[in-house]
Amino acid sequence: MKIHEYQAKGIIAKYGVSVPKGYVAKSVEEVMQNAATLGGEVRVVKAQIHAGGRGKGGGVKVSKGLDALKENATKILGMQLVTHQTGPQGQRVKTVLIEEGMDIKKELYFSVLVDRAKKSVVLLASTEGGMDIEEVAAHTPEKILKEVVSPIYGLRPFQTTRLAYGLGLDQYGPKVLKQAHGFFNGLYQAFMAEDCDLLEINPMIITGDERILALDCKMSFDGNAMFRHKPTLELRDVDEEDPAEVEASGHDLNFIKLDGKIGCMVNGAGLAMASMDILAAYGGSPANFLDVGGTADEERVTNAFRIITQDPNVNCILINIFGGIVRCDIIANGVVEAFKKVKLEIPVVIRLEGTNAELAAQIIKDSGLGGKLTMVSGFGPAAKKAVEISTRKS
């Protein structure tokens, strides 16, 4: 789950992380009514969408004076903002964050994330603030500092010291150096306490009056932990998300829309990713990631079919189920009943392996759906068959 920049800043501020003064507005009138609360002549208008690269797309404007503030707010509110993360369709800007102008002396990069290979939380920092960290990693990887945090001992003082000196903060004076420890610790504590899977500050800045602030903040959360964070869950902006993904989450289905033509219905995240990989290996293009979980039944399968078929690009569906916890015959009955309820016209390839797989095959055979529902034995052959059907119908 993602939230907006202004919401993320509100969270990290609770952990002692300094952020610029600002306010949120949904109309130009609201922007101008609250402009005096910031003081100063320079203000920044920042589009609030769930995507990076807003500045490059024209969604961040520095405004000197009230006339410029009104002009920039008028341009940004309501625009269809296109960035490298939105795709060519872009996202409509409905909310802006207005912040005080800052005297920026240096821009830096800092993030906290999970390193699955090391099974630990990792802190990343770089002197190349304001740039995409992927570009820095590709062209100047030596400029990325990395601290692996022990899951037993947590973030230690020597690690924040090493990051501070590695970023060259000592050259800005003892006041800045002292703030760095609280800044890094605050962000680490926010990451852990809020069950984040990413917390990125890009850029963190040093100001002319020797302050360290989070000029931008991006947070995303572990969806499986949201039951512990109901106030955070209420920050979710469903208008920023794909409607099919929102509907799927309401049915406890893990669904992500993609750009391909083969709809996927799989149980287990690992098998779902492997299914997309093998479809691509055979020259096909998956239309989605969909994990129905280990408790697939008729209702879940019906909802999954309905969500997949909302995508007009889907011309074939691959069902790839390994019946371990749930029996294959239960899944087969669910598929047959769901097929009839949804009144599917799209061809479906199904592969079932595991407990009662033979009985499941007989259920599919006796369903009377032989022209639309094809049972295939084997992971590879099922994927290959789905690609053949999809290619033929393209």
Q: Is the dihedral of CA 183, 187, 189, 194 positive or negative?
A: positive
Catalytic residue among 6, 109, 172, 188: 109
252 is in an annotated binding site: no
99 is in an annotated binding site: yes
**H helices present in the chain, as ranges:** 5-13, 28-33, 66-76, 133-139, 157-166, 174-193, 230-233, 243-250, 269-281, 298-308, 328-342, 357-365, 379-393
224 is in an annotated binding site: no
What distance in Å separates the CA atoms of residue 131 and residue 216, rounded to the nearest whole number? 12
102 is in an annotated binding site: yes
29 is in an annotated binding site: no
What distance in Å separates the CA atoms of residue 181 and residue 161, rounded to the nearest whole number? 7
202 is in an annotated binding site: yes
How far are the Cα atoms of 14, 243, 337, 346 from residue 343, in angstroms, in the given order?
51, 22, 10, 9
166 is in an annotated binding site: no
91-92 and 80-81 beta bridge pairing: antiparallel
How far are the Cα atoms of 88, 128, 241, 362, 393 from residue 85, in angstroms, in the given order?
9, 20, 13, 46, 30
325 is in an annotated binding site: yes
What distance in Å separates the CA atoms of residue 295 and residue 361, rounded to the nearest whole number? 19
What is the C-alpha radius of gyration for the chain, rounded to an integer number of angstroms? 25
Catalytic residue among 5, 128, 200, 240: 200
**Among the listed residues 40, 48, 39, 45, the one whose alpha carbon sits nearest the alpha carbon of residue 68:** 45
Is 23 known to be catalytic? no
130 is in an annotated binding site: no
What distance in Å separates the CA atoms of residue 338 and residue 300, rounded to the nearest whole number? 9
Q: Which residue has the tokens 């790839």?
A: 320
368 is in an annotated binding site: no
16 is in an annotated binding site: no
32 is in an annotated binding site: no
131 is in an annotated binding site: no
Is 200 known to be catalytic? yes
Instruction: Show Cβ contacts of residue 364 under 8 Å, excluding neighbours closer than 6 positions.
Output: 332, 335, 336, 350, 352, 373, 375
Q: Which residue has the tokens 């341009």?
A: 75
- The annotation places the binding site for substrate at 267, 324-326
- The annotation places the binding site for ATP at 46, 53-55, 99, 102, 107
- The annotation places the binding site at 46, 53-55, 99, 102, 107, 202, 216, 267, 324-326
Which active-site residues does the annotation give? 109, 200
